[in-house]
Amino acid sequence: MDLFEFATRQPATNDRARYDELCRTINRNNELYYAQAQPEITDAEYDALYRELEALEAAHPDFITPASPTQRVGNDLTEGFRKVTHPRPMQSIDDIFEHKPGQGESDAELVEFYNRLSRSLGMAEPQVVVEPKIDGCAVTLMYRNGHLAYAATRGDGTTGDDITANILTIGSIPRVLPEGAPSLLEVRGEVYMPFADFNRLNEQRDAEGLPALANPRNATAGTIKLLDVNEVAARPLAFLAHGIGEYEGEPLHTAADFVNLLKRMGIPCNSPVIHAEGEAAVRQAVKDIDRLRHELGYGTDGAVIKLADFALRESLGSTARAPRWAAAFKYLPEQKETTLRAITIQVGRTGVLTPVAELEPVQLSGTTVSRATLHNQDEITRKDIRLGDTVLVEKSGEIIPAIVHVNKDKRPADATPYSLYEAVGGVCPCCGEPISQEAGQVAWRCTNFTCTAQAAMRTSHFCKRESLDVESLGGTVAEALVRNGYISTPLDLFSLSVEKLGGLNLGTEDEPRRFGEKNAAKALEALERARTLPLDRWLTAFGIPGIGVTTAREVASYHRDLLQLAHSEFLGTLIRLEDGVTLYNSLNPKARSNKGADAEELEARRTTLRAELESLAAPYEKRHFLSLQPDGNNKLKLSNPLGSVSTHHLRQWFDSAAGQQVMSTLGELGINPTSPTYSEEATPENGPLSGLTFVLTGALSRPRPEFERLIAEAGGKATGSVTKKTSYLVAGEGGGSKRDKAVKLNIPIIDEATLLALLKGE
């Protein structure tokens, strides 16, 4: 997408609506980028949206509120981490862009920024430093009396996540500074993943049957937020410092003083750093950084220009979002046109169907590009990509080729819109089972438990600790089992013998490495134990979409065993109730769609239908926390304890050919997991927590399942998300997003001690 494409795209008469739409879109993409590390659009597309928002705010200053994306930094706060308040805000940095040919001087915005510095300071040629803009994740390191006190993410700019344990896995970051260290030193910089290490990590993940990581920046963002420090230690992270926060020590007057301090302290710092005075020197420095950055071995997408003198920085200050004394010059990615010859569909190890563009080969950034990711059907539809199109391709993040947009002037006359679903005939190209698209998600997915394309990944998931706890058969072993033809589905594990599993070659023909009979015997013992694990663990192991650990426990609490769940009257009732409620609400005489219809007839049908629905729901209302109530708008609302999406996924899975095959195989193996939390008796109506709903968040002193059981035994209910119907949020240390939502909804927040008192009726 052209960085300036949006500027003339929307009619001026609809500025307010467009402004609101841009705010929503940018905030959503900030959430995906910063908090979830799963961006859906390229940096260039995001920049185009942001620039359009800035243009609208310049034209309509009255639109601006403190909630505007231009008035605050992205928020990467994550639940589960201790929070740290930054002594000085960790701000973002304003972007300036390289112009495309034909749009004036390519570095016109750079020149304007430097001239603005000159005017603001009343100086002809202020000195600046120019350095690479690292494509990583912002963190701060706080040293007190020479010791690392903590490391934290930027968070929302004011508060960050304490990620000290994860940062200490980076060997280049010193825990203790040498003699002569300042009494207080806050160093700000970027955590990143070098290209070579990222590629090796993906090769390793591929060998272990794990999905490839999309790019170094996303991999870094996901890694520093992992709660398992051992897993973080296995990832190749690196760090470079580029800025200073709070400081108490010998005076630092310039950027050069700060760099020298970092070098004396043994803290790795950004390089090269070029000093420049005057417009010509600054322009040349930015060009030099562009040339040099390709040799650095890690992701960069621009050059940062900063005033060299710290006192001058203080005099200019900052806006609510960014300093006035710095800017990031964003280079144009290299782009070339080529022809889209075909679209192939890959089935990933998680079952996601990914469309891949097969291109007429073209030279780009020193490599031959013949394929590019299309991400998903929504991406294809949004960009209107069709077979035979002439497309503009760029290397996004200098690694993954991406299609930017289509040259529709060169489109073949017979080109038609592309449908992934129609291209594969609605079935998985690997196993032939139907594909589905989850509500609210863009990916098409094969959910067949026996799909051979997913065998290694599903086996790894099947054997995870939270599933059946046979971890010795995950990763590399699962991949080898599939590669050597020992298994084609996870349930084939139960047919393995010690001799066969022990002889499994985990290496290559040239360098064989046997699994060994001792390891095989331990794995088969774990499989034998798995036969007796409870129903919720097996539900988790099946990998049914929408059924995670918490939902699996909830489902299991309403069913005696797997066989009862497979033919569950409760699931059937929930689906019938949901369909009935939808029909009831559609018969509303006041609805615009029913204008002109016989109101009395509609109301009579609603009365009859409501009586049927209430009769259907009555047996389940008390013990199953199911409720059917009017919502005040002449509509009915069903409170489904399992959630609508989970209910339908469960029913579809058990009704599918794959689900029936699993049930058949488990029957042959004599496995029918039971639920220890199921009770034929109704939930206590007079328990101390009767009628109350709780949500647990943060770090608690006992496992959450134990608290959930105690709440249920006292007549209450524990759910996974905060809603208006939540009675209390029980918050341990951490609990960011759920705590924020509870505050917004005025839900009482209590600690563990208060919950225990409530359980006792105090």
Distances (CA, A) of 368 to 73, 197, 334, 375, 466: 37, 22, 13, 20, 43
Residue linked to tokens 């199953």:
624
Q: Is the CB of residue 125 less than 8 Å from the CB of residue 137?
A: no
- 360: helix, strand or coil: strand
CA dist 712 and 717 (Å) reads 5
- Number of neighbours of residue 20 by Cβ within 10 angstroms: 11
Q: Angle CA(163)–CA(169)–CA(172) in degrees, nearest 5?
A: 110
CA dist 152 and 129 (Å) reads 26
The type of residue at 574 is L
User: In 3D, which of 478, 530, 525, 526 has the Cα closest to residue 504?
Assistant: 478
Residue linked to tokens 């206590």:
684
- 755: helix, strand or coil: helix
Question: Residue 728 is encoded by which pair of tokens?
Answer: 């209390």
- 711: helix, strand or coil: helix
Question: Residue 120 is encoded by which pair of tokens?
Answer: 């603001």
CA dist 710 and 714 (Å) reads 6
Distances (CA, A) of 306 to 18, 93, 119, 127: 34, 10, 15, 9
| Cβ-count burial 387-412 (b if 16+ within 10 Å, e if not) | bebbbbbbbbbbeebbbbbbeeeeee
The type of residue at 642 is L
Question: Residue 311 is encoded by which pair of tokens?
Answer: 């006192």
Question: Residue 284 is encoded by which pair of tokens?
Answer: 């040349």
CA dist 509 and 506 (Å) reads 10
Q: Which of 100, 133, 225, 518 is catalytic?
A: 133
Angle between the N-to-C axes of helices 475-483 and 455-462, in degrees from 0 to 180, rounded to the nearest 10: 140
The type of residue at 757 is A
- Number of neighbours of residue 495 by Cβ within 10 angstroms: 11
Q: Is 133 a catalytic residue?
A: yes
User: In 3D, which of 96, 114, 200, 185 has the Cα closest to residue 148?
Assistant: 185
Provide the annotated active-site residues. 133
